[in-house]
Amino acid sequence: MSATRHVMILASAGSGKTYALTNRFVSLLAQGAAPERIVALTFTRKAAGEFFDEILNKLADAAADEVKAGRLAADIGRPDLGAADFGRLLRGVVDAMHRLRLGTLDSFFARVARAFPFELGLAGEFEILQEHAARTERQRVLQRLFTHTGELQPEQREFIEAFKRATMGMEEKQLGARLDKFIDEHHEKYLGAPAAEVWGNAATIWPEGQPWLRTVELAPALAALRTWLATAEIAPKQRQRWENFLQAAEMWAPGVDIKGPLAYVLEKALEAWAELGRGDVELAFDHKKQCLTSAAGAALADVVCHVAGGELTRKLATTRGIHAVVRGYDQAYHAAVRRAGKLTFADVQRLLMPGGGERPRLTRVAEEEEGNRLFIDYRLDAEIDHWLLDEFQDTSYGQWSILRNLIDEAVQDAEGRRSFFCVGDVKQAIFTWREGDPRLFGEIFRYYNDAAPGSIEQEYLVRSWRSGPALIEMVNAVFGAGEVIAEFFPGRPSELWNEAWRDHESAVPDRVGQAALLHADDGVDRFATTLRLVQELDPLAAGLTCAVLVRKNDEAAAIADYLRREGGVPAVAESDLHVATDNPMGAAMLALFQAAAHPGDTLAGEHLRMSPLGEITEARELGTPEALSRRVLSQVHAEGFERTAAYWLRADGNRMQGSDVFGAQRARQFIAAAALFDATGSRDVTEFVAFMQVYKEREPESAAMVRVLTIHKSKGLGFDVVIVPALEGTRVDQAREGLAMKKAADRSVEWVLDLPTKALATADAVLTDYVREAEAVAGYEALSLLYVAMTRAKRAMYVITERVGKSSSRNFPQLLARTLGEADTMIKVGGLTLPGAWAFGDPDWRQQVSTLGPPAAPDETLPLLPEADRTVGVRAVALRPSSERTGVVPAPQVFALNGSAASEFGTSVHGLLADIEWWPHASGEAWKRGWEARGVEHAAIAEAWRCVTAAALGEVWRRPAGKAEVWREKAFEILLDGAWITGVFDRVVVARDDAGRATAAVVYDFKTDRVGNEGEIARAVERHAGQLDIYRRAAAVLTGLPVAAVVTELVFTAAARRVVVPGAAR
């Protein structure tokens, strides 16, 4: 394969996507590409790690074995390469490891933003917020919005009124929970379309007008209908329908459900809308026609406008209210969080996206932002030659817009030195709800090839290295049935699917197995059939992996519980585990922390008292809220949450853990989660409790367990045996609920609306178009989901559905019945005979699979946590001596500079002194003028200049005789006495001999303390002695000197004094 070809590969499930990607990477290396000039991006850290590992393994194997080298050389189209050549390529990759660009799209975008912060309007370094930190910031913003004393501020009143409009008819008591959920649902949508004019704007949605929105008088319309009804010759049942309808219409108000007799007549009237008021019109009630006069038809049209128009008006107002709420929240969030340099990955992506309408900007004007964006593209384009993109069907249009200019340059490279390569499978596009856009694959291919035919080649990988022939037979039978697919997914979804479809082949034709469609009577029978299959096949005994795939997490939990309870099968539901709240131990621990942080919380206090911790705290004389608070909060401040949690979980002979494996496991998980929170640096107990309440873990993978997981989580995985028992449900084209966002071809948002009921939406031409589009997207995603489920198996797959009978629902069971058959037959699976409709393969395949030996079972004697005298893990305590602020500060100093001003002043002085390498210097006065030109505070310049020119400090700046080097503002990290030290040397002068070996060192630490007399200086020296001792030892390690050869001095900048700080006795 030539490395300079531009290729888009559609790789079917199990066809070797990673193999193709890694071969491409190696091929580029063989063509002479520098490893750091290749970008390879995927969606998960796990996939990126696998990609990197596979590259190293492939090169290492080829470097160590000529036979493997020959195979790899043939794969990449370079038969001239041998083991020595691959060894050289391996060395190049290892040497460039710290510069490689192999990772996730999110991490790549973050690296770009860190490299160009000022061009993106950032003040400098920024922090990427993880899920908990982002939620904490949200709570702070909401708290700020609702915090007030006395009268509400105008912006607070506006926010609350907007929230009322956005939740018309849905008043709730738990405002906080409702608002949090509200932001979850709508914030990302707002960021995708922040312009107010596209939210609930009737003129934007219906540029030619919407007839239901005209103003009408209800009373005359109802009177006219009653007049017509009095003389109408209709059956009693029809008359009753009319009377009920008129009564319901009279009582109806916006926000009230449209149902019953009101909905019945309204739907009939909407069907005949074009004829109402234009003469006599016929309506059919219960298959009986009735004729309305022109006057009655016009009156009915007015009632329709009152109800349908009233509901549309409410929905428009609700949509505008949602926009106003989220805009208010986002403005507060932007000012308090983003501008403070705290960004989510989504924020970073939006910063990098070109254009963006009215999205929150950090640069001043759009023109400046666009110019800076092009500058970033130019710089990146100069550093990157080759692009490799994985899982391209899950790429969003926004992500592509960031990369498009750069990839344009690669594809249009006239010299053929650069390349573009992407791989994906549009048949596995199951993340459209996360903005994944499978249409991009075809659009990009056509875009480049329309401009220059043949620019990009398209290849198909259809040979599955995962699934045996029986499974491939079933997959082809279902997904290759083009006519049935077109019937179930009419229009664009089936066109896209059938265009991309190629019949699959098995690359492992000797792999025995079976595929079958089985029938069950109901949900209980589906569970029972699943258990019978697992027991009959007994895959774990032969070392085979087994998975049960479902659509929802609650289904996974229910089936796993059934398998364990009814059959004793070791099964685990791989849904998210709330390890701090799904067990009594975790709940009691959270009560402990809550009671310590909030002594007045009687609920937490009583919970604590009734748990084993109650006796433990009493025994330690911590029975009062005040004593408990002092103890726990002191522990947290001194040791962090991990060690505090471990202490209480080990207390009194591990009583908190209990004696079972589950309790010990949850205790370990609780402590591990506490360690993660410690890594944030926070000691806020309330934040810790909130973090633990939502903290989730996944059950670890184990070949010794039957894994029950959702189809989404199974993507990318393979199992020897797969059972799919939960495909029942709604129509395959059921659109997702939520705000309707109508998008143009370029994915820009045209309008946003909280849709009315489907009956109203499908009676309006504009809304009908949107509904059809949404159903098409949902249908394609549903078909992709079924494809993912049916391509996970290696040897055997059993799909279990209930019989479709006379049902006409377009759901998965119906699709399988149409493609595989629905007539009942008896299907043999090992020693079982089960009802079903289709089977292929060997029913006795299990007997032919040689036993690999059962995998190691989980340790049922998992030890409890160690006793209290044992340390927790080997993690070092993190210390930052430069950040310590301890000691007694004289009152005059308190008022000399406030905390933040003093910190800024000290930072300015340190920054100026870091400019000085040696003094005196010929450019001395130029330095001072440069400081003034930078706009540094005059007082800071004066203090720094006084220090530089003071005779008493001359030794600090003077170059010593002989060889010497100076470190200025040099950051370091080092492990001392089990503590991880992070610090910054202000100034270190290192003397060296002619051979370059260090012979002595002096550490100068600048202090802007406002000291005056000798007593204040002595106290300041005592206060900082501990820090200087750490710095002395760190400098000794970093220079290779004995500690005795390192001198430490404090330099008090205000007094222009230097004081030698003697080392601690050791």
Mean pLDDT by 10 residues, the chain (1066 residues): 76 92 94 94 88 94 94 93 94 92 92 86 82 84 70 62 61 61 87 93 94 92 92 88 92 89 90 81 86 90 93 92 89 88 90 63 49 78 91 88 90 88 92 84 91 91 95 96 92 91 95 96 93 95 94 90 91 79 89 92 90 86 88 90 89 60 82 90 89 80 82 92 90 82 90 92 92 91 94 97 82 93 92 95 90 48 44 49 46 43 75 87 74 81 92 92 90 79 90 90 91 85 88 92 94 92 70
* Fold entry, domain 7-121+364-461: Rossmann fold (3.40.50)
The pLDDT of residue 152 is: 59
Is residue 319 a known part of a binding site? no
- Summarised one tens digit per residue, pLDDT across range 740-775 is 999 998 888 999 999 998 889 999 999 999 999 999
* Fold entry, domain 469-574+704-732+785-843: Rossmann fold (3.40.50)
The pLDDT of residue 53 is: 93
Rounded Cα distance between 1054 and 1009, Å, is: 7
For residue 891, give every residue at least 6 positions away whose Cβ sits within 8 Å of its Cβ, in sequence order, or none: none
Q: How many residues does the chain have?
A: 1066
In this structure, what token pair is assigned to residue 439?
A: 């249409």
The pLDDT of residue 425 is: 92
Is beta strand 697-698 parallel, antiparallel or unpaired with respect to 457-461? unpaired
**How many helices (H) and strands (E) would you count in the chain?**
40, 30
Contact, 1042 vs 910, CB < 8 A?
no
The pLDDT of residue 356 is: 46
Paired with 30 in beta bridges are none
Verify cis geometry, omega within 30 degrees of 0, for the bond prior to 920: yes
The pLDDT of residue 656 is: 61
- Structure letter (DSSP) for residue 743: E
Is residue 11 a known part of a binding site? yes
In this structure, what token pair is assigned to residue 1022?
A: 């005592």
Residue position matching structure tokens 């060296």: 992
The pLDDT of residue 1008 is: 86
In this structure, what token pair is assigned to residue 362?
A: 């950090």
CA 199 to chain CA centroid, Å, is: 26
In this structure, what token pair is assigned to residue 718?
A: 């393979």
Is residue 13 a known part of a binding site? yes
Is residue 204 a known part of a binding site? no
The pLDDT of residue 166 is: 60
What is residue 335's three-state secondary structure?
Answer: helix
Is residue 807 a known part of a binding site? no
Paired with 238 in beta bridges are none
Is residue 315 a known part of a binding site? no
* Fold entry, domain 878-1061: Lambda Exonuclease; Chain A (3.90.320)
The pLDDT of residue 869 is: 41
The pLDDT of residue 902 is: 60
DSSP code string of 774-815 = HHHHHHHHHHHHHHHHTTSEEEEEEEEEE--TT----SHHHH
